[in-house]
């Protein structure tokens, strides 16, 4: 991410309400390695998973989360929701949060605003039809938005959900790399960690994190950091901006 985008994220985080633009969760005002300044030792983070569901790797992630007793947030692609509806139901049935990652994950630079919002609406309706639940969590492909797309999401009262920790699991070639990253990761309360459940190493990261011990870290759903009213957003409407 370039410096201009980083500066924009910091500026938006400072001025926008958490239920509309989220880069990280609640943090302590002064943090040690565990993220706390009041004697606690457990860091509360949000593990998020993009680009699924995948028939092999999503179940592995769900199994790892279940073993740890943790919750995750899954930003699903509509095409893959149609291909693997039972996995989407399992995600919701096991108490995880689900988010919208468009229908095709098309390249941001090649996707007009109207198409982007239409893909989100289509995926939103699929999730609602399959699970009976509605989500306002949206993660744009690559975390990139234009002004028109941002306005469309704002009008629809969606929660733009980005991240502040990226292990780059997409570039990993072995489980040992996932373990090495976990050992180097300085746990901080409020971190939103970007992972991909279309790849084999997200589950390895979950397992390695959980083996650090219950008193060190736990994962919660992104929605746990939002007010209850944030779960009842408007139906997405396409824009011609």
DSSP string, 150-162: HHHHHHTT-EEE-
Residue 68, domain member (yes or no): yes
Confidence of residue 32 (pLDDT cuts 50, 70, 90): very low
Q: pLDDT, tens digit, for every residue of 39-94?
A: 556 899 999 999 999 999 999 999 999 999 999 999 999 999 999 999 999 999 99
Averaged over 122-127, what is the pLDDT? 97
The SS3 of residue 208 is: helix
Mean pLDDT over all residues of the chain? Answer: 88
pLDDT at 232 over 60: no
pLDDT at 27 over 70: yes
Query: What is the reported pLDDT for 18?
Result: 77
Q: Name the pTM for this structure.
A: 0.89
| CA 239 to centroid of chain Cα atoms | 24
Query: What is the reported pLDDT for 185?
Result: 93
Residue 194, domain member (yes or no): yes
Averaged over 122-147, what is the pLDDT? 96
| Residues paired with 22 in a beta bridge | 161
- Residue from 19, 50, 118, 191 carrying the catalytic annotation: 50
Is 105 one of the annotated active-site residues of the chain?
A: no
Residue 4, domain member (yes or no): no
Confidence of residue 5 (pLDDT cuts 50, 70, 90): low
Is 129 one of the annotated active-site residues of the chain?
A: no
What is the number of structural domains in the chain?
1
Query: What is the reported pLDDT for 17?
Result: 76
| CA 240 to centroid of chain Cα atoms | 27
- Residue from 19, 105, 196, 197 carrying the catalytic annotation: 196
Neighbours of 170 (CB within 10 A): 15
The CATH number of whichever domain residue 211 belongs to comes to 3.20.20.370
Residue 5, domain member (yes or no): no
Angle at CA 237, nearest 5°, toward 235 and 241?
A: 150
Contact 202, 53 (CB under 8 A): no
Averaged over 95-120, what is the pLDDT? 97
Residue 39, domain member (yes or no): no
Residue 24, domain member (yes or no): no
Domain carrying residue 135? 47-224
Residue 164, domain member (yes or no): yes
Q: Using alpha carbons, select from 176, 171, 172, 144 the residue that is nearest to residue 160.
A: 144
Averaged over 123-151, what is the pLDDT? 96
Residue 229, domain member (yes or no): no
pLDDT at 30 over 50: no
pLDDT at 240 over 70: no
pLDDT at 33 over 50: no
Q: pLDDT, tens digit, for every residue of 188-230?
A: 999 999 999 999 999 999 999 999 876 789 999 999 999 876 6
Name every residue whose Cβ is closer than 8 Å to that of residue 90 and which is 6 or more positions away in sequence: 59, 62
Query: What is the reported pLDDT for 158?
Result: 96
Query: What is the reported pLDDT for 214?
Result: 61
């Amino acid at each position: 991410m370039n410096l201009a985008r980083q500066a924009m994220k910091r500026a938006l985080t400072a001025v926008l309400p958490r239920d509309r633009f989220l880069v990280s969760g609640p943090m302590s005002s002064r943090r040690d390695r565990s993220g706390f300044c009041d004697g606690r030792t457990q860091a509360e983070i949000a593990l998020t998973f993009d680009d699924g569901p995948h028939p092999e790797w999503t179940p592995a992630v769900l199994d790892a989360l279940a073993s740890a007793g943790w919750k995750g947030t899954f930003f699903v692609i509509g095409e893959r929701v149609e291909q693997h509806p039972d996995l989407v139901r399992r995600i919701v049935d096991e108490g995880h949060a689900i988010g919208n990652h468009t229908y095709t994950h098309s390249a941001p630079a090649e996707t007009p605003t109207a198409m982007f919002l239409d893909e989100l609406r289509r995926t939103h309706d699929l999730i609602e039809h399959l699970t009976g639940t509605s989500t306002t969590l949206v993660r744009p492909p690559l975390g990139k938005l234009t002004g028109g797309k941002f306005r469309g999401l704002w009008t629809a009262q969606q929660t733009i959900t980005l991240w502040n920790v990226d292990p780059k699991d997409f570039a990993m070639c072995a489980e040992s790399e996932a373990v090495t990253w976990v050992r180097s990761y300085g746990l901080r309360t409020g971190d939103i960690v970007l992972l991909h459940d279309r790849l084999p190493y997200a589950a390895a990261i979950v397992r390695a994190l959980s083996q650090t011990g219950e008193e060190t870290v736990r994962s919660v759903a992104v929605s746990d950091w939002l007010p209850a009213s944030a779960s009842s957003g408007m139906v997405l409407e396409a824009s011609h901006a």
